[in-house]
Amino acid sequence: MLLVEDDDELAGLLTEALSCEGFVVDRAADGQRGLHLGLTRSYDVMVIDRILPALDGLDLVIRLRSREIPARALLLTALGTVGDRVAGLDAGADDYLIKPFDLDELSARVRALCRRGNEATAVLRIGSGLLDLTSRDAVLADGARVALSAREIELLRALAARPNTVHSRAELRRKVFDEAAAASIVDTYVYYLRRKLGRAVVRTVHGVGYRLGAL
């Protein structure tokens, strides 16, 4: 989870409460730091204060959505008019919670957003076929079934989280494998995916890295 909140006391309370729910919480104290984290790391959900230093929460959501960051976003705000709520939702937020709020309600809303996020990414389309991320089975256009390994699925997830972004090999190795893995590990797993799903599934951007292909 990404938490963008400039109030240290409130951020501490939220971090403690959400950690008890099982989340690993990254905290940013201003909008610029939140933007950096949102663009460079993958999150299931983001909790963003509406009024932030450096970059307003509304502008932060707009910028993240313009880069096709898919993580669910919950805006926290003391601005409770209908117009304010509409502006937040139109900017790309998925939910809106007015201060002061109850921590139990916040936790329930975050859990609901995570369920919505999981449902949205449970099945990916591969050309005319389908990939079920829960069973790790791909059903190709000709009806053939292909089983993918957990690492292959995680590599696809990392690419699909930002489908129009070119991901460097170093970034993919860090997210999907670990720093101790061989430098060629990403290339090896891209080869595995192409062998199973077709060469178009992952596109090479020469000199930069990989991006999602025909998914």
Helices of type H across the chain:
8-20, 31-40, 57-66, 82-91, 103-120, 150-161, 169-176, 185-197
The residue whose two tokens read 């937040």 is: 88
Predicted confidence (pLDDT) per residue in 160-185, tens digit: 777 778 999 988 988 888 767 788 99
**pLDDT at 42 (0 to 100):** 83
List the structure tokens of 49. 């204060």
Cis peptide before 100 (omega within 30 of 0): yes
97: closest CA among 89, 66, 54, 52? 89
Q: What is the mean pLDDT of the chain?
A: 84
Distance in angstroms (rounded) separating the CA atoms of residues 100 and 77 = 9
pLDDT at 2 over 80: yes
The pTM (predicted TM-score) of the whole model is 0.57
| Alpha carbons 61 and 46: distance in angstroms, whole number | 9
Q: What is the CA radius of gyration of the chain?
A: 19
Domains of the chain: 2-120 (3.40.50.2300), 123-212 (1.10.10.10)
Give dist(CA 65, CA 140) in Å, integer.
31
Let me know: does 144 contact 130? Beta carbons within 8 Å: no
pLDDT digits (tens, 9 = 90+) for 144-160: 778 888 788 888 878 87
* Conformation bin of residue 5: beta by default, left when phi > 0, alpha when psi is -120 to 50: beta
Task: Take residue 74 and report the two structure tokens written for it.
Answer: 């919950």
> Quick one: pLDDT at residue 120?
46
DSSP per-residue string spanning 140-194: -TTS-EEE--HHHHHHHHHHHHSTTSPBPHHHHHHHHS-TTS-TTHHHHHHHHHH
Whether residue 136 is predicted with pLDDT greater than 70 in this model: the reply is no
